[in-house]
């Protein structure tokens, strides 16, 4: 295969992964759950595994995950295999840190005191 064609196909894959999640036409619950966790592009979504979605994304149930997988299948894409997912970590907001602390039974974090 000529080098120009290989570059073109690589570029088309990159463009496809840069597309916004809204192009998958997901149900509102699934789209909002992904947006809440900072997943805005198809590339960010396919870098996650089904296990990541179940364990790390609060508010995404089995039905929403199935809807996501079906939408990706329509685009000839799939979620990452378990254990091979890339980690997109963004700093948690104060609200998210307090929520996780509340779930763990730890005292609420106060930003004004500089306590973490």
Task: Quote the longest CA-to-CA distance of the chain.
Answer: 61
**pLDDT at residue 10 greater than cutoff 90:** no
Taking a C-beta distance cutoff of 8 angstroms, is the pair 71, 46 a contact?
no
Structural domains of the chain sorted by starting position, each given as residue range(s) with its CATH number in brackets: 3-85 (1.10.150.20), 88-116 (no CATH)
Taking a C-beta distance cutoff of 8 angstroms, is the pair 36, 29 a contact?
no
More confident residue, 107 or 76: 76
The residue-averaged pLDDT of 62-78 equals 92
Q: Count helices and strands (H / E) in the chain.
A: 6, 0
Question: What pTM was estimated for this model as a whole?
Answer: 0.60
């Amino acid at each position: 295969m000529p080098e120009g064609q290989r570059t073109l196909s690589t570029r088309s894959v990159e463009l496809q992964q840069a597309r916004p999640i809204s192009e998958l036409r997901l149900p509102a619950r699934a789209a909002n759950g992904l947006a809440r966790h900072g997943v805005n592009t198809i590339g960010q979504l396919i870098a996650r595994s089904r296990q990541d979605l179940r364990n790390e994304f609060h508010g995404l149930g089995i039905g929403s995950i199935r809807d996501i997988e079906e939408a990706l299948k329509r685009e000839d894409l799939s979620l990452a295999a378990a254990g091979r997912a890339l980690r997109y970590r963004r700093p948690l907001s104060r609200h998210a840190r307090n929520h996780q602390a509340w779930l763990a039974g730890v005292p609420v974090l106060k930003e004004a005191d500089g306590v973490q």
